[in-house]
Amino acid sequence: METIVADITNLKKAFGSNHVLKGIDLKIERGENLVVLGKSGSGKSVLIKCLVGLIEPDEGKVILFGKNVFELNDEDLNALRKKVGFLFQSAALYDSMSVRENLEFPLRGLKLKQKELDERVASTLKSVGLEDAIDQMPCGLSGGMRKRVGLARTLMLNPEIILYDEPTTGLDPTTSKEISRLILDVQKKYSAASIIITHDVECARITANRMMIIKDGTAYCEGTFEELETSKDEWVRSFFK
Amino acid sequence: MVIKKIVGPSERLYLSALKGFFEEVAQLTLFTLRFFKQALQPPYEFNELLKQSYLIGYKSLPLIAITGCIMGLVLTIQSRPTLAEFGAESWLPAMVAVSIIREIGPVITALIFAGKVGSGIGAELASMKVSEQIDAMEVSGINPFKYIVVTRVVSATFMLPVLVVMADAIALYGAYIGVNLKGEVSFHLFFLQVFEKLTFTDVFPAIIKTFFFGFAIALISCYKGYNSNKGTEGVGVAANSAVVYGSLAVFILDMAAVQISSLFS
């Protein structure tokens, strides 16, 4: 089995005159948690959106599960995306659907029986500790609960790679820690690779196997949390203060 | 270089506005083509189609009913003095019926529809875009265009004609009440006069054009919402422009429909 899940080479993206990514290289292995740190507007979210084909890069290659994302037709791209979980910054829950419907939504087209569907929804909600919220509407959920439901939704298809876009933004420190631990639990339980975009150092400390810091559109440095925390580069160390 | 010299700042402004207009028309055309491509390709979203038909059609019924009733009543009350002046009061039911069925019913209902449904679709889609719900669908491997746009446009295309028929019927009842405010005409006689005067060429083109009204309103609303990209400000802009351009499209289509139907009458 191939160990490299995603391989990004020389990724470049500009929005008008704003060159957000200036040639990023990134590889992630099966079961690994990679935390990407960087200042706001440094292109972290653009990076993972390019990975799933939501944003088309100007240059560079994105290989996901051995396939070039931008050379696939719609059908193949959709099939590939079923292996990817994406937790959006705002959780992106469908407002018009209940929690149950939100979780059932990615399974459309799989033609599962209702009983099987119910069991899968219940067990996934249990794994994020929200089994009681099954019939609630997203508007009735707190920020932390929304993130949990969003995570549960990404887990419904048993993804092989999960992309987290600022999973702890807007949450209080306690809930942030809970979400970070949940990310770690998910990694252990589902053996999925994860890319976690954040500027929350505590989240990085809890979840990271490896870290990458983006500066000026390039991968400025890479290493473990401890390595970067004790880096000789003052700019890198400033993230951890 | 020569062009730059002869084109002044004000001309450049007009040219840029003109360029913007043609770009918008081109984008809308591509959006329409994409709609037809996606609408014809399986799988079909029947459940969502039914849900949207319920939301777009059934949920609009009370508003359409109230406006329909008022429309018939007011038109009758306003027309009576003029007809009375010529001693043609007995023509009131027929005249009001023809006005309602041919023009006022479809157009007013479509405008109300653009206000209620069009703005709703525009705001909903823009808000889905802002809160990354559309991206979330795409990442789940589900075609958001088919699920969101196709279902809404198809529902609106088929629901508006139904609403117009209902609004016309209620408006005729309103007209019956209006006639009886200053006179006494039996229910039977009123509708006898109405149906005596109405012909196939009054009813058929009026119903057919409402399919186009519904299609245009929903398509424009979806286009504005789906392509909204100015954050929360964009939600308001999308809702507003959905109503404005949807209503404008109704008038343009109505004008075209009148020209076409007059060719056959």
Model confidence over A126-169: pLDDT tens digits?
A: 888 888 888 899 999 988 889 889 988 988 888 889 999 988 88
Tokens read off for B106: 């479809």
* Token pair recorded at residue A171: 């949450």
Choose among B140, B128, B191: nearest CA to A162.
B140
In whole angstroms, give the CA distance from residue A10 to residue B15.
39
The Cα of A184 is separated from the nearest Cα of chain B by a number of Å equal to: 22
How far apart CA B200 and CA A16 sit, in angstroms, is 57
Of the ranges B107-121, B226-240, B250-264, the best mean pLDDT one: B107-121
Rounded to whole angstroms, the Cα distance separating A224 from A163 reads 19
Q: Phi-psi category of A23—alpha, beta or left, where left has phi over 0 and alpha has psi -120 to 50?
A: left
In chain A, which residue's Cα lies nearest the Cα of B42?
A109
Q: Give the model's pLDDT for residue B197.
A: 86
Q: Judge whether B98 and B197 are in contact, CB under 8 Å.
A: yes
The domain locations on chain B are 45-264
In a 10 Å sphere around its CB, with 0-12 CB exposed, 13-18 middle and 19+ buried, how is residue A115 labelled? exposed
Instruction: Give the closest-approach CA distance of B99 to chain A in angstroms.
Output: 40
Q: In Å, how far is A153's CA from the nearest CA of chain B?
A: 9
> In chain B, what residues touch A106 (CB-CB under 8 Å)?
140-142
Higher pLDDT, B110 or A147: B110
Q: What would the mean pLDDT of B142-170 be, rounded to a whole number? A: 95
Q: Quote the tokens at residue B180.
A: 């009886």
pLDDT above 80 (res B4)? no
Q: Which positions in chain A touch B138 (Cβ < 8 Å)?
A: 54, 81
DSSP of A169-194: TT--HHHHHHHHHHHHHHHHHH--EE
**What pLDDT score was predicted for residue B5?**
62
* Residue of chain B with shortest Cα separation from A50: B139
Eight-class DSSP state of A132? G
CB contact under 8 A, B141 and A49: no
Q: What pLDDT digit, counting tens, does each position of B129-150 carry?
A: 998 899 999 888 888 999 999 9
Was domain A4-91+143-238 assigned CATH 3.40.50.300?
A: yes
Q: Which residues of B touch A (CB under 8 A)?
A: 43, 127-128, 131-133, 135-143
- For residue A53, the chain B residue with the least C-alpha distance is B139
CA distance A172 to A187: 23
Residue B112: count of CB within 10 angstroms of its CB: 20
In tens, the pLDDT along A58-105 reads 999 999 988 998 998 888 888 888 889 999 988 899 988 999 999 999
Residue A161, Cβ density class (10 Å: 0-12 exposed, 13-18 middle, ≥19 buried): buried
What pLDDT is stored for residue A194 in this prediction? 92
The DSSP symbol for A40 reads T
The answer to whether the CB atoms of A74 and B140 lie below 8 A apart is no
Chain A residue with the nearest C-alpha to that of B137: A106
ipTM given for this complex: 0.86
- What pLDDT does B2 receive? 55
Shortest Cα distance, chain B CAs vs residue A129, angstroms: 22
Instruction: Give the whole-angstrom CA distance, residue A6 versus residue B21.
Output: 42
> Of B3, B130, B124, B111, which is closest to residue B60 (Cα–Cα)?
B111
Which residue in B43, B136, B141 is closest to A92 by CB distance?
A: B136
Distance from CA of B143 to the nearest CA of A (A): 8
**A42 pLDDT higher than 80:** yes
- Tens digits of per-residue pLDDT, B5-59? 667 778 888 888 889 889 989 999 999 999 999 999 888 889 999 999 999 999 9
CA-based torsion, A209, A213, A219, A222: positive or negative: negative
Please say if the pLDDT value at position B96 is more than 70. yes
Rounded CA-CA distance B94/B92 in Å is 6
pLDDT at B262: 83
Q: Does the beta-carbon distance from B138 to A74 stay under 8 Å?
A: no
| A149 within 8 A of A102, measured Cβ to Cβ | yes
